[in-house]
């Protein structure tokens, strides 16, 4: 009888532990689900913040280009993606192109020219220069202060 009561008490303890283990397993599963939801929300927040930071970049690019391009240089196409600007156009002389390249380098935000194409052609009996450039933008003040 004494042994039976010990066995019965131990069985009750085992049952209690099994119940508690099931409860804890459910809580762990809930925590995992919450962590996944949190990670997804953080990803969305970061995406939204990135989009908010970059939404004015196109406007800023065209404002800066208007200040940077001197008279006698005519931009035909421009594209802006992945923090790079690709511009193509024509110019009346090499001096105008040189002035523009200095303006681009000195603009700060347009960054550093990484690739420049110049090609002299005769169009409509006028000498013109076809030009193109690619530059990396300084999108934040940290990059601008570090100089790339």
The burial of 113, by beta-carbon neighbours within 10 Å (0-12 exposed, 13-18 middle, 19 or more buried), is given as middle
Mark whether 51 and 72 lie in a shared domain.
Answer: no
72 sits in which H/E element: none
75 plus 112 within the same structural domain: yes
- The total domain count for the chain is 2
Same domain assignment for residues 11 and 65: no
Is residue 111 a contact partner of residue 135, using CB atoms and an 8 Å limit?
yes
Q: 90 and 24, same structural domain?
A: no
Specify whether 87 is located in the same domain as 134. yes
Give per-residue pLDDT as tens, 9-49. Answer: 999 999 999 999 999 999 999 999 999 999 999 999 999 99
Which pLDDT tens digit goes with each residue over 83-133? 677 777 878 777 887 888 888 878 777 766 666 666 666 666 555 666 666
- Same domain for 46 and 96, yes or no, is no
Residues 37 and 74 in one domain: no
pTM as predicted: 0.56
Check whether residue 77 and residue 20 sit in a common domain.
no
Query: Which strand (E) or helix (H) includes residue 55?
Result: none
Q: Which two tokens stand for residue 73?
A: 């240089």
DSSP for residue 70: P
Q: Domain range holding 40?
A: 1-55
- Which strand (E) or helix (H) includes residue 76? strand 73-81
């Amino acid at each position: 009888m004494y042994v039976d009561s010990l066995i019965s008490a131990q069985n009750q303890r085992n049952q209690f532990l099994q119940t508690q283990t099931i409860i804890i397993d459910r809580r762990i599963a809930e925590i995992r689900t919450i962590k996944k939801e949190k990670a997804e929300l953080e990803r969305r927040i970061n995406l939204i913040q990135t989009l908010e930071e970059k939404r004015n970049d196109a406007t800023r690019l065209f404002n800066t280009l208007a200040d940077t391009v001197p008279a006698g240089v005519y931009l035909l196409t421009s594209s802006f993606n992945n923090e790079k600007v690709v511009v193509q156009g024509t110019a009346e002389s090499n001096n105008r192109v040189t002035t523009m390249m200095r303006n681009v380098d000195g603009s700060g935000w347009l960054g550093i020219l990484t690739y420049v194409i110049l090609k002299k052609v005769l169009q409509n009996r006028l000498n013109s220069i076809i030009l193109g450039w690619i530059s990396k933008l300084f999108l934040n003040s940290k990059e601008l202060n570090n100089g790339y």
